[in-house]
Structure 1
Amino acid sequence: MTLQTVPAMPQERSRGAAHVALRAGPRRGRLDRLHQSGSAKAFVHPGEMGPEVVFLNTSGGLTEGDRLTCRLDLGAGVHATGTTQTAERAYRSPGGSAAVEVRHRVGPGGHLDWLPQETILFDRSDLRRETRIDLAADATCLMLEMLVLGRAAMGERPAALHLRDTRRVLRDGRPLLVEPLHITPATLPAGPAVLEGARAIATVALVAPGAPDALAPVRAALDEPGTRGGASAFDGKLLIRLMAVDGWPLRRQVVRLLEVLRPGPLPRVWQT
């Protein structure tokens, strides 16, 4: 009897795209358009600081070949918060990278708080992410990105992973802030100029005319145990960088900073 080799079946890949557009209306904005497809979903809730837009990836995580896009367009005068329902997870990707595109636009007089919850990078994950926020001439934004390298409570310490994460803020097409981050296996054990053994990192950026005024209160709040951080302000921008031994102290520090930088409560999904 001759055994025949059964060809390997192609693995199913996740595809998702969600696009929310808000226009001027009561409570600083109202829903104008909503499109969602595949694994990407979006929900809009009323909030004290304006609408809260929550993006969700129903596939439960990202691995090789997955593609996810989320987009938020704010019309003139709209103030809104964008976030994610839970932490995003990048899983083992032995044959290629997962890709995420985040593209937001803020119209004249508008403001966006882009506050996604943390991204957890598992061992041998491979993620490429592009985040771009386009501001009109007088629009403003607050942007956050948190990365956690494995789950300390589960004893996870990634030995190898790849991340290319680029964040851009532009005003009328002119770059105001460009943040490229590249993590490789060589980065993980590296010294003070890189991660120096940190298990979690974050960047917080406020782009607004009065951003430098918040520098002193922000520096006063940089004292959460288990974290290290620094803040600087220049040319209408405030930039904060954080490192932590684990995701929980990092999150506590970020929450304290957000309470300094924005009035009102955190998004509802952050409070559960």
Structure 2
Amino acid sequence: MVNQTSITSVLLMSLAINQETLSVLFIFFLLVYLMTVFSNFLIILLVVTCAHLHTPMYFFLGNLAFLDMSYSSVTAPRLLFHLSTHRWSMALQECIVQMFFLTYFASSEAYMLSAMSYDRYVAVCRPLHYSQVMSWGTCTELVTLVWFSGLFIPIIYILFLQRLTFCGPNFIPNFCCDLPSLLQISCTDTTINVLVLFIVGGFLGIVVFVTTFYPYVRIFRAVLRIGTSDGKSKAFSTCTSHLTVVLIFYISVFFIYLVPNASNLRALNQVVTIMYTLITPLLNPLIYSLRRCLDYGD
């Protein structure tokens, strides 16, 4: 058997560009991160302090804002550190921890969007029973289930990672650590891990996808039965913000996990990763704020 030396660090993709461009990128990502934290924290603060926002929809929105803020904080500070120091290495254990929290917050956000879809379904299709169905007890149980269910996939991934030996090459062609990247630098047979990735992640992904979009099938059917255009417009207006956020989330996931990781697509994958981990958490509060402003304008 050939001796294999375990690696203790990984090398993330560095940017082979001049110092001025690196400085511009650092300022850009710093501003994006600060705006993300500020806008999501502002939503949480408003939801907590404003009595007229103490509704199920804004309760879910406040939790979504906290998820977005946390998700961005897993990647942005580390990326800013790399850009400022030009040191693109990371300890292997740090990489695994980052993968764990990325998976956790992404899974939790998918579950949260599914819960919000159910809330919108009840609001449009069963408006007379909305206060009974979406009681505070039900909302609290749903949110608690979301936060705890998000732990299932990353814990499974971590447990199966324990059987692997990482011996390089230790280069990860991305700005952050995810499970496919870690499997690529393993010198142990990863067949079982890939099966777990597709079976566990794929099964739960399909279930969450269906529970997120099926309510909108029912919503569209209900809206089409409304006789007046004003009624249809008002019914759709309660869902447009959430549906926009859902579409952005799943389009990003599609590109990251379903598009082949070929060398000619790496640039696209890196851009989408930046969008998914940094830009999307900033867009979500802006989308909901815009919808709120339009509602006030009507």
The two structures have a TM-score, normalised by structure 2, of 0.26
Greater fraction of residues in helix? 2
Larger Rg, first or second structure (1 or 2) = 2
The two structures have a TM-score, normalised by structure 1, of 0.28
Greater fraction of residues in strand? 1
